[in-house]
Structure 1
């Protein structure tokens, strides 16, 4: 449920398979420490799993939000008035815009495990950023929220 003023809110969480990798990382650390004894191996298992989980959680904590008249994407906060046309990108177009069509000046909140995205043009003449590329699982909903924020 979105609170008042929040038109769109999405957390770009890591896929479930990444969480199993955290366990495998912990097991690897535990095995590496096994020659030092069982307690060292168990400690390595716990600490390795915990550190890997913190890394996955931090990477998956990026959020995309439309709040009032601003777009908040990761660390960026851009007024909607500085944004131009929003392009909804399917998986194929998104891949093109994050590879051979990408502009190095663009702001990219990219998550490789999310195949779809939006590309939002920046129309502020004082901003050198040509567009924002935002990974999102619901590109149409984000585009609609930006349109609603402009109104």
Structure 2
């Protein structure tokens, strides 16, 4: 039997992030169509628009989850007992965490359309990663799940 999930969040791309890439894909297809008229004129639309849809879906498929005694961010996971101090950044203060204060060895999963960010230090001396820095929409719920 699997352990219960105490926190789960998907960092999906919001509705306002979809029209511009889809319009750009359609315009690119139209430009290719103008250069190669004829029977194959539908081919650029068949390639670029689904490719843009796939890219948007893939960008929004990242999950943040606490379950089974582990924190999972995307494909990465770490046991909760190896986590140290938790620091929450709002949309305005995350700029410093992502800029001059960012350690190059840190694990980072940033989604620009998600405002808050969480920084969690790792206490594992064998792990060269000093901390995880990742986007999350509900940082308070995540912190509560990590403590509980």
User: Is the pair's TM-score, using the shorter chain for normalization, greater than 0.5?
Assistant: yes
Alignment partner of 1:86: what SS?
Answer: strand
Report what 1:7 is aligned to.
Answer: 6
Q: Does 1:107 align with 2:104?
A: no
Residue segments in structure 2 that go unaligned for 5+ positions in a row:
none
Query: How many pairs were matched up?
Result: 146
C-alpha distance in 1 between matches for 2:133 and 2:146 = 14
CA distance 1:41–1:21, shift in 2 (3 Å): farther
Aligned counterpart, 1:133: 133
Other-structure match for 2:25: 26
Kept after mapping to 2: 8 A contact 1:83/1:122: yes
Residues 136-151 of structure 1 mapped to structure 2, 5 A cutoff: 136-148=136-148
* Structure number having the greater helix percentage: 1
What is the deviation of 1:109? 1.1
Shift, 1:39, TM fit: 4.7
Whole-Å Cα distance in 2 between the matches of residues 83 and 30 of structure 1? Answer: 48
1:125, 1:147 → 2: CA distance? 21
CA contact 1:26–1:44 (8 Å) conserved in 2:
no
Distance 1:41 1:22, change over 3 A: farther
* 1:39-63 CA-partner distances (Å, limit 9, x unpaired): 5443322321100110111111111
Partner of 1:81: 81
Contact (CA 8 Å) 1:8, 1:66: kept in 2 or not? yes
Q: Which runs of 4+ in 1 moved over 2 A?
A: 38-43
> What's the secondary structure of 2:18's corresponding residue?
helix
How many angstroms does 1:68 deviate by? Answer: 2.2
For residues 41-90 of structure 1, the C-alpha deviation after alignment (integer angstroms, 9 at most, x for no partner) is 43322321100110111111111000021001112110001100111211
RMSD: 1.7
TM-score between both structures, scaled by the size of structure 2: 0.90
Name structure 1 gaps, 5 residues minimum.
none
